């Protein structure tokens, strides 16, 4: 089955060092009417609560917001994991937040966001891992793959810091290894 024929219930994008510009580029090139809820789990400073969502909204073609606990996922809306909270995707298409211990030195943890989406939506999950400086996200992305979801790793040659994609590639074989421009094309293929 072509990826454009798959009916995803959520797209989860994870990234760390260097990922802001890539995410910003992706959001700025999405086609209007992007039909799937998008979750962004990016490593960020714990004590800086504002600025990131505003920065992403500057160029984004879809609204970017920080969800409150128990808020529903919305098609065509990007939800950014708030600073100092883990974000989980639930069976009922809501977001839950948590202040549990850091995972891989991170809160939000990308592993947690991916794994929860995989558990909730199985093959209807699309996970994308971007540039980053630690291994958080690798195991969670593998969980998406294990549940027959679709997995994309940013081509390490295009990363500011390739540790995170390389950690994923060491763990499993993703469906695709793509440049940021190619990632945009895949996402836009989900429209219509």
Partner 1 sequence: MGVTLGINELKAVTSEMARYENMDYTGLSFSFLKRRLAYVFDKLKVRKLVAFSERLKNNDFRDDVKYYMAVKVTEMFRDPGFWRSVRHNLFPVLGKEFNVWFPDTSSGEELFSFLVLLKENELIDSVKIICQHPSEKLCNEVSEGLLEVKDEELNHSNYKRLEEHDRFETYFKEENGRLNFDKALLKNCHFRIGAPGVAQDDEVFDFIVFRNSGINYAYSRHEELFKNIVEHIRPGGFLAIGVKETIPENLSDFLIVVDKKESIFRKAGKKNE
Return the active site residues: 16, 43, 136
CA-to-CA distance for 101 and 191, rounded, in angstroms?
37
Name which of residues 86 to 105 contact partner 1 (CB under 8 A): 88, 90, 96-101
Q: Does 42 bind partner 1 (CB under 8 A)?
A: no
Q: Which is nearer to partner 1, 56 or 153 (CB)?
A: 56
Q: Which is nearer to partner 1, 86 or 154 (CB)?
A: 86
Name which of residues 126 to 185 contact partner 1 (CB under 8 A): none
Q: Report the side by side order of strands in the sheet with 150-154.
A: 64-65, 78-80, 38-42, 10-15, 125-129, 150-154, 176-178
Q: Count residues near partner 1 (CB under 8 A).
A: 23
Q: Which is nearer to partner 1, 70 or 148 (CB)?
A: 70
Task: Give the nearest distance from C-beta 117 to partner 1 in angstroms.
Answer: 11
Task: Give the nearest distance from C-beta 39 to partner 1 in angstroms.
Answer: 15
CA-to-CA distance for 164 and 106, rounded, in angstroms?
13
* Other CB atoms within 10 A of residue 187 CB: 24
DSSP assignments along 147-184, one per residue: TT-EEEEE-GGG-SS-HHHHHHHHH---SEEE-HHHHH
Print the binding letters for residues 47-86 with partner 1: x by CB under 8 A, - otherwise: x-x----------------xxxxxx----------x-xx-
Q: How far is CA 169 from CA 43, 80, 174, in A?
A: 20, 25, 7
92: left (phi over 0), alpha (psi -120 to 50) or beta: alpha
Task: Give the nearest distance from C-beta 186 to partner 1 in angstroms.
Answer: 28
Rule CB under 8 A: which residues touch partner 1? 46-47, 49, 66-71, 82, 84-85, 88, 90, 96-101, 107, 116, 119
């Amino acid at each position: 089955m072509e990826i454009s024929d798959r009916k995803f219930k959520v797209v989860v994008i994870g990234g760390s060092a260097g990922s802001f510009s890539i995410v910003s580029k992706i959001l700025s090139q999405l086609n209007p009417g992007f039909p799937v809820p998008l979750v962004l789990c990016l490593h960020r400073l714990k004590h800086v609560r504002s600025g990131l969502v505003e920065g992403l909204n500057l160029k984004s073609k879809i609204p970017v917001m920080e969800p409150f606990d128990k808020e529903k996922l919305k098609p065509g809306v990007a939800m950014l994991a708030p600073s100092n909270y883990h974000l989980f995707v639930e069976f009922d298409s809501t977001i839950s937040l948590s202040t549990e211990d850091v995972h891989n030195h991170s809160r939000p943890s990308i592993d947690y966001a991916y794994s929860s989406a995989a558990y909730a939506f199985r093959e209807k999950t699309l996970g994308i891992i971007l540039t980053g400086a630690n291994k958080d996200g690798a195991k969670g992305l593998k969980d998406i793959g294990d549940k027959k979801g679709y997995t994309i790793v940013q081509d390490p040659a295009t990363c500011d810091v390739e540790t995170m994609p390389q950690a994923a590639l060491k763990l499993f074989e993703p469906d695709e290894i793509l440049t940021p421009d190619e990632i945009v094309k895949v996402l836009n293929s989900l429209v219509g």
